[in-house]
């Protein structure tokens, strides 16, 4: 079975429903926090993504069913003076994992990043998500460091 991977249309009602369903699936997973999406988020997320010209979503379907997504945001590298793509979410439905769907979606994201003349693609991954780490390493991702003596970058947050 060959996956159908394409750019989501936020104005397409089916794509919008599938984006929300896949994000909710991810949110309920331990790697996504283990809680369902808040109702207000579920109702507004697609419209909020559509408002951002620097956002895009890649969807993956198998046999007409949405089974994966990648939410991306274009940013900018000051050290390279070129755009970059940050992957914020990668979702593969639990019952479809192990079929290399993330690879197919990442390949599509990379094609978009190259078309935009991006210098790199970035993402975050939890320390305990070793399956995802293996998939990302196989695709060519590596931890971020400028100088090995200074160590690897850490991803921090502050809730507002």
Give the tens place of pLDDT for each residue, 14-48: 999 999 999 999 999 999 999 999 999 999 999 99
Cα–Cα distance, 141 to 47 (Å, whole number): 30
Say what the pTM is.
0.94
What is d(CA 114, CA 72) in angstroms, rounded to the nearest whole number?
A: 14
Across-strand partners of 141?
Answer: none
pLDDT on residue 42: 98
Provide the Cα torsion 22, 26, 27, 30; round to 10°.
Answer: 160
What domains appear along the chain, each with residue ranges and CATH number?
Answer: 4-150 (3.40.630.30)
The pLDDT of residue 86: 98
d(CA 32, CA 23) in angstroms, rounded, equals 9
DSSP β-bridge partners for residue 70 = 58, 90
For the chain, counts of helices (H) and of strands (E): 4, 5
């Amino acid at each position: 079975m060959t996956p159908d991977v394409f750019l989501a249309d936020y104005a397409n009602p089916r794509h919008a429903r599938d984006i929300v369903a896949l994000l909710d699936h991810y949110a309920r997973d331990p790697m996504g926090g283990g809680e369902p999406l808040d109702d207000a988020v579920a109702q507004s997320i697609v419209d909020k993504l559509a408002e951002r010209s620097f956002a895009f979503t890649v969807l993956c379907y198998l046999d007409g069913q949405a089974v994966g997504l990648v939410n991306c945001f274009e940013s900018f590298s000051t050290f390279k003076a070129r755009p970059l793509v940050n992957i914020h979410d990668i979702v593969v439905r639990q019952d479809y994992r192990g079929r290399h769907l993330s690879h197919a979606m990442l390949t599509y994201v990379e094609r978009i990043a190259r078309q935009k003349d991006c210098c790199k693609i970035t993402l975050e991954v939890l320390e305990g998500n070793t399956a995802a780490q293996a998939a990302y390493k196989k695709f060519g991702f590596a931890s971020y460091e400028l100088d090995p003596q200074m160590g690897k970058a850490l991803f921090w947050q502050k809730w507002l």
